[in-house]
Amino acid sequence: MPHTRSTILLLAASAVMACARTAVLAPVGTTAAITPADLRLRLTAFAADSMMGRAAGSIWDQQATDYIANQFARLGLLPGGEKGTFFQVVPNVRPRNTTEHAAARNVIAIFPGTDPALRGEYVSITAHNDHIGFSRFGVDHDSLRAFNTVVRPQGADSPVRDPTPDEARRVRQILDSLRRVHPPRLDSIYNGADDDGSGTIALIEIAEAFAKGNAKPRRSILFVSHTAEEEGLVGSSWFTDHPTIPIDSIVAEIDVDMIGRGSARDIEGGGPTYLEVVGLRRLSNELGDWFEAVNAKEPLPFVFNYEYDAPGHPEQYYCRADHYSYARYGTPSVSLSRGEHMDYHQVTDEAQYIDYPDYARLTKMVFDAALFIADAGHAPRLDAPKPTNPHVPCRQ
């Protein structure tokens, strides 16, 4: 009998899920250098449709965490998870839109330091591996992008409203230009290329730069890929409440989330040097000084935007990023992001829209900052006492 549009979409989704169950992501040939080409190669695999949006607690985020662990293993990093593995299971995480459940897992790896007196201290670099899954119903990819370009420039963080007549004309013009390139195409998978595929792949690229390069940090580098950030920082909260290394041995934490965009087309005031920095000086001014000094030596330094770190800022970025799970234990922590855009929490957040040259520059800056901290003669000095209760509600 004839299929309805809904039935066709459900059949298509089922077919994609069947393929995703058997998808295997083989290791890729990459170099020690942090390059746009390496980032593109890895991110295209990690944010592929076969990952089905990597909802925490789904078989597809399990597939994603397998990929991350395999990459760390082949680089020779040491497992930092539970029972000699790269994994830490985070309990009670279940995806909302699928019954294809699996254990939600943090992925933890260690690049050992070279100084016997300091290798028991860690500089942690973190990102989150999960996203928000998929929809059972598709939307036209280009129509959504045209609409969001004009009406919802921050994607899911822009209010839902009808366009004005002038906005509707602009949407139509953009869509007409896209239609000249390709026909309508239904999309139902939230690929999460920028959120936070970009941060996840940066972790792997930085790990490769340490493992294959000449840097020999005195302190150890701890890589933590958190799950369930989209559920409310659940994975990072679990790790810091149940650390697989002593929590006080982490001298600094750098969280990277949505670091693949940031152009003037993506965000007001954006450009090659745009970078949102949250939390950097809240616990340690010295950490802020070090970061700014490292950045100033980069070939094209970033301009730090501290606007979203302001106390009481309505966007609440200080409380929305995984770095907060560390800061609440008194670890000097920073969240780095190149900002929101029209594809934020949309099915259009795909690897094809990433700005790879600037993404590579920022990934290299994070590598340089982590190495600087790891080689410093002392840990970043705290300017405030450690919190006595890490479980009080966060205040921006």
**Quick one: average pLDDT of 90-118?**
94
What's the rounded Cα separation, in Å, for the pair 149 and 154? 9
Per-residue confidence (pLDDT) for residue 384, from 0 to 100: 86
d(CA 324, CA 266): 26
> What's the confidence (pLDDT) of residue 320?
95
The mean per-residue pLDDT over the stretch 283-305 comes to 98
In this predicted structure, what is the pLDDT of residue 28?
56
Region of residue 52 (left: phi > 0; alpha: psi -120 to 50; beta: else): left
Distance CA 227, CA 62 (A): 10
Residues 6+ apart with CB under 8 A from 82: 88, 89, 244
Q: What is the pTM (predicted TM-score) of this model?
A: 0.92
Q: Which domains are delineated in the chain?
A: 5-134+190-375 (3.40.630.10), 135-189 (no CATH)
Q: What is the pLDDT of residue 14?
A: 41
Q: Which two tokens stand for residue 157?
A: 């963080």
| Mean pLDDT (whole number) for 291-303 | 98
- Give the Cα separation of 11 and 16 in Å (integer): 9
Q: How many CA atoms lie within 13 A of 324 on its CB side?
A: 18
Q: What is the pLDDT of residues 189-208, one digit of tens each?
A: 999 999 999 999 999 999 99
Take residue 30 and report the two structure tokens written for it.
């990459």
How far apart CA 382 and CA 281 sit, in angstroms, is: 10
Q: How large is the C-alpha radius of gyration of the chain?
A: 21
Q: Take residue 199 and report the two structure tokens written for it.
A: 């941060």
As given in the structure block, the two tokens for residue 167 are 């906005």
CB-count exposure of residue 164 (10 Å: 0-12, 13-18, 19+): exposed
Proportion of the chain above pLDDT 90, given as a percent: 90
* pLDDT score recorded for residue 3: 31
Instruction: Pull the structure tokens for residue 248.
Output: 């006080």
Pairing of strands 186-189, 134-140: antiparallel
Whether residue 48 contacts residue 210, with contact meaning beta carbons closer than 8 Å, is answered with no
Degrees (nearest 5) of the Cα angle 28, 32, 33? 110
Decide which of 220 and 10 is more confident: 220
CA distance 172 to 163: 11
Dig out the tokens for 268 from the structure. 């007001």
Residue 374: the pLDDT is: 98
Whether the per-residue pLDDT at 178 is higher than 80: the answer is: yes
Q: At a CB cut-off of 8 Å and minimum separation 6, what does 31 contact? A: 38, 208, 212
pLDDT exceeds cutoff 90 at 158: yes
The pLDDT mean for the chain works out to 93
Task: List helix spans (H) across the chain.
Answer: 5-22, 36-46, 59-74, 141-150, 165-179, 199-212, 234-241, 285-296, 317-320, 323-327, 356-375
Distance CA 305, CA 328 (A): 23
Task: Please say whether the dihedral angle defined by the alpha carbons of residues 242, 244, 246 and 247, taken in this order, is positive or negative.
Answer: negative
Cis peptide leading into residue 196 (ω within 30°): yes
> Which pLDDT band, with edges at 50, 70 and 90, does 12 fall under?
very low
